[in-house]
Amino acid sequence: METMCFRGTVYPWNCDHFGHMNVKFYVEKFDQANCNLFAVVGLTPGYFREHNRGMAALDQHILYKRELLAGDNVFIRSSVTEVNNKTLRCQHQMFNAEKEVLAAEMTLVAAHVDLERRKACPLPAFVKQNWESQ
């Protein structure tokens, strides 16, 4: 299931001395999309606070396809592609909204973490149920 998880703008302070969006801001926008995608499967901010849980990136890969410049509007389409006992695999695609051109892709594997023990722990059953029902 693919969903729109982020909309935003490339600001001048997001750009490096070459004039295009710096890699750290791609990561920032993808991270915001992650938070919204987690909520789609039930891993909401309220769930994390109530259960003292969080998510930790284990593996992250970004492919840069086209540059983005100051003033460009972007959107990110996201999906959970795999749910395991303790991890989620997510796929994100960032587009230049005006041109509808793919600018970057990110694949992420994230672990569900017990914040007190600082260790990965099983995902709640509702995550897989929500994912399968999409």
Q: Which CATH number characterizes residue 102's domain? A: 3.10.129.10
CA distances from residue 64 to 2, 12, 41, 106 in whole angstroms, order as listed: 20, 19, 27, 9
pTM for the predicted model, two decimal places: 0.94
For the residues 9-38, what does the mean pLDDT come to? 97
Q: Name the band, by pLDDT with cuts 50, 70 and 90, for residue 29.
A: very high
For 62, the domain range is 2-128
Q: Is the pLDDT of residue 16 over 90?
A: yes
Burial of 101: CB neighbours in 10 Å, binned 0-12, 13-18, 19+: exposed
Q: For the chain, what is the domain count?
A: 1
Q: For position 1, what pLDDT does the model report?
A: 72
